[in-house]
Structure 1
Amino acid sequence: MEKKSEGTLAIIWLALIQGVLASGAVEVKPSINPAAVGDTVTLSLSPSSTLKSGNWAMGESLILTWQGDKQLVAPSHSSRALFNVLTGALTLSSVTVADSGVYVVQCYDPKLRANASITILEPISNVSLKANQIDLMEFNSSAVIKCSVSSGSSLSFFWLNGSSEVTASDRVQLTDGNSTLTIVSVTRYDQGPFRCCVFNPVSNGTSDPVNFTISYGPDNMALTVNGQNTTSFLVGSNLTMLCSAQSSPPAQFQWAFRGQSVNTTGPLLELYSVTKDQSGPYSCLAFNNHTNMNRNITSHSPLSRSEQQAVTVWLLPLQLLMLVAHSVHR
Structure 2
Amino acid sequence: MVQMLIMKFSDSFSVHIFKVASVFHLFIESGGALLARPDTITNTPVGELVQFPIQYNSTDQYDVTFRLNFPVPFKILTWKSKYPERIHIVHPLYQHRVGIDSHLVALNDVHVNDTGVYEIQIDYYGIELKNRDKSTFRMQVFEPVSQPVIGILGDCVNSPNITLSCSISKGTNYLIHWEKVSMSGVLNETYDVTVLVIDCVTEVQQQSYRCIAANPVSNATSNPVTVDLSNRANPNEGLNLQQETCT
Shift of 1:165: 4.8
Partners of 2:136 and 2:203 lie apart in 1 by 57
**1:52 is paired with a residue of what secondary structure?**
strand
Which residue is equivalent to 1:37?
Answer: 46
With over 3 angstroms needed to count, the CA separation of the structure-2 counterparts of 1:198 and 1:82, relative to structure 1, is same
**1:76 is paired with a residue of what secondary structure?**
helix
Partners of 2:212 and 2:76 lie apart in 1 by 38
Judge conservation of contact 2:143–2:170 (CA < 8 Å) in 1. yes
Shift of 1:148: 0.8
Structure 1 residues not aligned, in runs of 5+: 1-27, 169-173, 218-287, 292-330
1:63 to 67, 76, 81: 76
Judge conservation of contact 1:194–1:211 (CA < 8 Å) in 2. yes
Partners of 1:192 and 1:211 lie apart in 2 by 6
Shift of 1:196: 0.2
1:148-171 per-residue CA deviation (whole Å, 9 max, x = no partner) reads 111112212221122425346xxx
With over 3 angstroms needed to count, the CA separation of the structure-2 counterparts of 1:63 and 1:185, relative to structure 1, is same
Which amino acid in 1 is paired with 2:100? F
**2:37 is paired with a residue of what secondary structure?**
strand
Which residue is equivalent to 2:212?
Answer: 197
Judge conservation of contact 1:56–1:63 (CA < 8 Å) in 2. yes
Which amino acid in 2 is paired with 1:52? Y
Instruction: Point out the more displaced range, 116-125 or 46-55.
Output: 46-55
1:193-252 per-residue CA deviation (whole Å, 9 max, x = no partner) reads 1100111111100001112343344xxxxxxxxxxxxxxxxxxxxxxxxxxxxxxxxxxx
Partners of 1:189 and 1:32 lie apart in 2 by 46
With over 3 angstroms needed to count, the CA separation of the structure-2 counterparts of 1:49 and 1:116, relative to structure 1, is farther
Judge conservation of contact 2:54–2:120 (CA < 8 Å) in 1. no
Judge conservation of contact 2:79–2:87 (CA < 8 Å) in 1. yes
Which residue is equivalent to 1:152?
Answer: 171
1:84-121 per-residue CA deviation (whole Å, 9 max, x = no partner) reads 1x21x111111011111111111221511221111111
Which residue is equivalent to 1:101?
Answer: 116
**1:98 is paired with a residue of what secondary structure?**
helix
1:80 and 2:103 matched: no
1:161 to 168, 173, 180: 180
Which amino acid in 2 is paired with 1:123? P
**1:189 is paired with a residue of what secondary structure?**
coil
Judge conservation of contact 1:136–1:212 (CA < 8 Å) in 2. no
Paired positions, count: 182
Partners of 1:182 and 1:165 lie apart in 2 by 16
Shift of 1:142: 0.8
Judge conservation of contact 1:32–1:41 (CA < 8 Å) in 2. no
2:162 to 143, 160, 163: 143
Judge conservation of contact 2:152–2:163 (CA < 8 Å) in 1. yes
Shift of 1:48: 7.7
Structure 2 residues not aligned, in runs of 5+: 1-35, 125-130, 238-247
With over 3 angstroms needed to count, the CA separation of the structure-2 counterparts of 1:81 and 1:35, relative to structure 1, is same
Instruction: Map 1:1-330 to 2 at 5 A.
Output: 29=37, 33-46=42-55, 52-59=62-69, 60-67=73-80, 68=82, 69=84, 70-74=86-90, 75-84=92-101, 86-87=102-103, 89-109=104-124, 111-133=132-154, 135-137=155-157, 140-162=159-181, 163-167=186-190, 178-189=193-204, 191-214=206-229, 215-217=231-233, 288=234, 290=236
Shift of 1:47: 6.3
Structure having the higher Rg: 1
Which residue is equivalent to 2:244?
Answer: none
Matched-pair identity in %: 26
Which residue is equivalent to 1:324?
Answer: none
With over 3 angstroms needed to count, the CA separation of the structure-2 counterparts of 1:164 and 1:186, relative to structure 1, is farther
RMSD, aligned CA: 2.7
TM-score, scaled to structure 2 = 0.65
Which residue is equivalent to 1:236?
Answer: none
**1:136 is paired with a residue of what secondary structure?**
coil
